[in-house]
Amino acid sequence: MIERSTEVTITVNGEVVTQRVEARQHLVDFLREELQLTGSHVGCEHGVCGACTLRVEGRIVRGCLMLAAQADGLRVETIEGLAESGEIADLQAAFLERNALQCGYCTPGMLLTAAELLATRPCPSRAEIRAYLSGNYCRCTGYQAIVDAIAAVAARRQGRLT
C-alpha cells in the first residue's frame, strides 16, 4: 500500500514541531495551514514569483517547490521568526521609511532575500541588489524604492549615513 502521509519533525523558528503531513503537501502550505504562519505568501505556486520564500538550514528556498516531508529533520525560518528575533528590524524600518511596499504581498519574500544578500555581501551595488532580487516579483512598487531601502540598510550597517 502507498503511504499518503508521513510523520515529520521540523524545527520551525526555533521550536520543534512533530506532526503527520500529507506526502504531497508543500512546505509553505504546511506552515500556513497547519502552523498558522501566514507571513509566507503563495503566488505562482511554481517557483517563479518568490512570494513563498523561506529559509531552510540558513539558505533561502521556494516554499512552493519543497515538500513538507523533505523538511524532516531540518531547520526552517519564516518571516515571523526573523521579525521576532529582530534580525531584520532595520530592513523592515527602511522598507517603511522608503515606501518600499504597497500591497505587501511580496514583502516577506523580499525581506528574506534582502537579509541573505546583506549577510553574504554586506556592501552590494545597486545592480547587485537588483540581480539578487530578480527572483522576487513585485507588482506594485516598480522596485526602485525596494532597492533604495536595501542600499540604505547596507550603508547604515557599514556606518555610513544615508
**93 binding ligand FES? (CB under 6 A):** no
Grid cell of 47 as nine digits: 517557483
* Shortest Cβ 63–ligand FES spacing (Å): 6
**Largest Cα span, the chain:** 63
Question: What cell was used for 134?
Answer: 530578480
Contact letters (x/-) for ligand FES, 55-74, by CB under 6 A?
A: -------x-x----------
Residue 47 in the binding site for ligand FES (CB under 6 A): yes
CB of 25 to ligand FES, least distance (A): 14
Residues belonging to the chain: 162
CB 157 within 8 A of CB 126: no
C-alpha span between 61 and 55 (Å, rounded):
6
Q: Does 83 bind ligand FES (CB under 6 A)?
A: no
Q: Which residue among 8, 30, 50, 148 contacts ligand FES (CB under 6 A)? A: 50
What value, to the nearest 5°, has the Cα angle with vertex 86 and ends 148 and 13?
A: 115
Q: Which residues are at the interface with ligand FES (CB under 6 A)? A: 42-45, 47-52, 62, 64, 101-106, 138-141
